[in-house]
Amino acid sequence: MLFMAQMTVRIPHSLAPAFVEQLKADEKALSQQLQREGKWRHLWRVTGQYANVSIFDVASNDELHTLLTSLPLYPYMDITVTPLAQHGSAIVQN
């Protein structure tokens, strides 16, 4: 079941640079693991912004919530979730 998540990252300027770098590295590692598992199906950068458009493939709302709140950058992100359904004109199944 697919969901679009639009995430905007707002890291406070007061955070220590080393802490931020570690957060980003951990975020990247977990993100790539979830992509390889097929949970995080697509990840695109919004041009000109510290933001992304993501497509998740999960079994339930609960799984998605657990996944998103496990992201290291979660405390610093604004996230909106849009549930996606099968489009009648799509030539592939979701």
Residue ranges binding a second copy (CB under 8 A):
1-5, 12-15, 27-28, 31-32, 35-36, 42-49, 52-53, 55, 60-62, 64-66, 68-69, 75, 79-92, 94
Rounded to whole angstroms, the Cα distance separating 76 from 87 reads 33
Cβ closer to a second copy: 14 or 18? Answer: 14
Cβ neighbors of 94 (< 8 A, separation 6 or more) are: 1, 2, 84, 85, 86
Name the minimum Å distance from CB 11 to a second copy. 9
- Compute the C-alpha angle 68/35/13, nearest 5°: 50
Name the minimum Å distance from CB 52 to a second copy. 6
